[in-house]
Amino acid sequence: QEKVQQSPESLIVPEGAMSSLNCTFSNSASQSIWWYQQHPGKGPEALISIFSNGNKKEGRLTVYLNRASLHVSLHIRDSQPSDSAVYLCAVRDSGTYQRFGTGTKLQVVP
Amino acid sequence: GGIITQTPKFLIGQEGQKLTLKCQQNFNHDTMYWYRQDSGKGLRLIYYSITENDLQKGDLSEGYDASREKKSSFSLTVTSAQKNEMAVFLCASSINRQSQNTLYFGAGTRLSVL
């Protein structure tokens, strides 16, 4: 069974800084990885996904996937107070469904 | 675009009570999911449904029943609420069960058991 772990548990960064979030998973055959953003009282919303080794950039977001080290990271450039939320990493292999980590709570302070 | 509507938003129950949560989606998605979110434990899958009248157990199915009588709706029943239980139940859908499909979530039902 896929295990997904996220670090750090919480992160405080100043406005304009880079936020870096980490996620490790247990199955190198995992095919698909997503990052979701969840604001208080709301459901998670998909931000960015990656399906092959390497990196992917969308706007202020960059995700890096290294299957050999079972590690994926999300970097948010020029962090804004509106980015303050819980970020969830989700991993799926071919046969089942997305499994989620416990989340990183990001706070961006002005 | 579409939306996932979960009812009720808040649910307060008594120990031992059977409680039903409902979910409707207008994306016309084939696959629907019920996840449970506990503080500090992330999201755990209870049940999912590949299509109408299909049910598949997730990692946390014990103590729950589910029903998918229509493509657009998916309901979850807590068969016997546990005292002091507090959790958020999240419904989600995806186009189908292909591995690269994104999940779309509702806002959740917040359960408290007295």
- Phi and psi at B46, nearest 5°, equal -95, -60
Contact B99 A31 (CB under 8 A): yes
Taking 70 as the threshold, does the pLDDT of residue A45 lie above it?
yes
What are the CA-CA distances from residue B114 to residues A35, B13, B26, B81 (Å)?
Answer: 35, 6, 34, 9
**pLDDT tens digits for range A59-85:** 999 999 999 999 999 999 999 999 999
pLDDT at position A27 is: 84
- Across the A:B interface, residue pairs with CB atoms under 8 Å apart total 55
pLDDT tens digits along A13-34: 999 999 999 999 998 777 799 9
Share of chain A above pLDDT 70, in %: 98
Enumerate the residues of chain A whose CB falls inside 8 A of the CB of residue B92: 43
pLDDT of amino acid A95: 67
Kindly state the greatest CA–CA separation across chain A. 44
Quick check: A43 contacting B, CB < 8 Å?
yes
Alpha carbon distance B2, A108 (integer Å): 30
Q: Do B92 and A43 touch (CB under 8 A)?
A: yes
Determine the Cα–Cα distance for residues B78 and B92; give it in Å rounded to an integer: 18
- Is residue A1 very low, low, confident or very high in pLDDT (cuts 50, 70, 90)? confident
User: A92 and B99: CB-CB below 8 Å?
Assistant: yes
For range B32-45, the mean pLDDT: 92
Most A CBs within 10 Å, among B41, B103, B105, to test the A interface: B103
Instruction: Report the alpha-carbon distance of residue A24 to residue B71 in Å, rounded.
Output: 35
Strand partners, B94: B31
Question: Taking a C-beta distance cutoff of 8 angstroms, is the pair B107, A42 a contact?
Answer: yes
Say if residues A49 and B100 touch (Cβ distance below 8 Å). Answer: yes
